[in-house]
Structure 1
């Protein structure tokens, strides 16, 4: 069995200013995503300033949507009783599904502002999303949070999280780094290299993320304030089911006028 190597969540501390690893992961993801989008902007024929606008809107969507999603989906009763705590983002609490909704709204705003097909913009953005997912889950592991369910002690990579208990557990954060980060990035990136009808790349992302997240939830400990919900599913599983359905529909839907042109190929 492995033992979780308790890691200081603070990466850099200068006087009263502390930079946490989790926040640093977000910053690295945003920078990498911006660099890649700038290099790929010819895919939909946008300029450097337009990419800046899209990146900034998506950052707002991730942060605001992720926080609001956590409040609404995971801990609404607490925040209704402590409304000012909603602003305490430094205490943690972000939801991927809320962040996704925020990014979708940002893409819709950008597409309408710049008169571009919404699905084409979504396909342009999608290949960089797994980078943020993988780095975010790595930040969860560094923080020693979102640990897994109890595992067979014979499992070679079963891990004890001493700050939780002495029970061998699945390192579910690492499962998500590999699936939602590495595997999803490779598959979506390769798929996006060839011309596709608008919406196909985004659809593949939705489908695969939903499947990966639904499966990993069986190895991840449920949120203590929620536990399991109807049918024994966790909140993460229930929120992932619409993604699977929407992704499958985008992949098989017949082309429409908004999907008439793919955004390019390598």
Structure 2
């Protein structure tokens, strides 16, 4: 089945202010929903005592710093990995987050930095913190990819198989009106432009599948490094595979062999790291849950 992407990336159009048209985009709402889910899932693990010595208030601090790491690391990583030439030409583009452009690998590095700093301040082992964090990250990844799909960006290659999604942002349709695009689609003339909805593939694999596997795996106490290692391995493998049907960034293209993309290059270290951490977990200690003390009831 071939469908025409007709979702408005703007969720709410706000009144115009001077020459500026403010709006709330679905992509931004996906980030807010992702952070809300992280709060709910993280609090659940805190109540289960999965990070001994840390209460709900301290977890709130960790989540706040994590959000900062995601946003700053994701944007800086995107600029360094995918748009460094644009940055050199216009350094101010670094702060134009509303124009799109976030890197998972950059966001991951940002989270690692702030988690290391937070763990050190609390006297906690860094990987105990990362094992705690990993299970509630995938829903945010999945929501981010859904935001990419709604925004009709980061789509895949042409399917050439009688199914897929026709994206109006395809360069082949540059200058076309919405009415002309719909008429051509209705006639079947655009079937050859149906693309893999690679954003939805990633939402399914990196979001739903990873969440189910990691949440199930982490329900029981596991050796240190095991949960983090499984997270890194799964993400690296899933991202590497989806890149085969995803269009590489136009200003980078393929790096080698006519198929190797920047996304695959950045994912290979995660695969290696995941395997190393799972190997190291064989002889690592297991952190046992310690439920936080119950709040004393007020005298009646």
TM-score, length basis structure 1: 0.94
Q: 2:272 corresponds to which residue?
A: 245
Deviation at 1:15, TM superposition (A): 2.1
Q: 1:263–1:119: structure 2 CA closer, same or farther, 3 Å change rule? A: farther
Q: 1:263–1:4: structure 2 CA closer, same or farther, 3 Å change rule? A: farther
Q: Is 2:85 the counterpart of 1:85?
A: no
Deviation at 1:263, TM superposition (A): 4.6
Q: How does 1:209-248 map to 2 (within 5 A)?
A: 209-231=235-257, 232-248=259-275
Native 8 Å contact 1:192 1:265 kept in 2: no
Residue-by-residue CA offset, 1:70-106 (whole Å, 9 max, x unaligned):
0000010110110011111110110000000001111
Q: Is 2:136 the counterpart of 1:128?
A: yes
CA distance in 2, matches of 1:170, 1:36: 31
Q: Is 2:81 the counterpart of 1:73?
A: yes
Q: Is 2:32 the counterpart of 1:27?
A: yes
Q: 2:186 corresponds to which residue?
A: none
Give the 3-state SS of the residue equivalent to 2:63 in structure 1. Answer: helix
Native 8 Å contact 1:159 1:169 kept in 2: yes
CA distance in 1, matches of 2:253, 2:160: 21
Native 8 Å contact 1:222 1:228 kept in 2: yes
Larger radius of gyration between Structure 1 and Structure 2: 2
CA distance in 2, matches of 1:217, 1:194: 33
Q: 1:12 corresponds to which residue?
A: 12
Aligned length, in residue pairs: 262
Q: 1:159 corresponds to which residue?
A: 165
Q: 1:64–1:252: structure 2 CA closer, same or farther, 3 Å change rule? A: same
CA distance in 2, matches of 1:184, 1:96: 15
CA distance in 2, matches of 1:55, 1:254: 25
Give the 3-state SS of the residue equivalent to 1:3 in structure 2. Answer: strand
Q: 1:193–1:184: structure 2 CA closer, same or farther, 3 Å change rule? A: same
TM-score, length basis structure 2: 0.84
Native 8 Å contact 2:5 2:165 kept in 1: no
Native 8 Å contact 2:226 2:281 kept in 1: no
Q: 2:62 corresponds to which residue?
A: 54
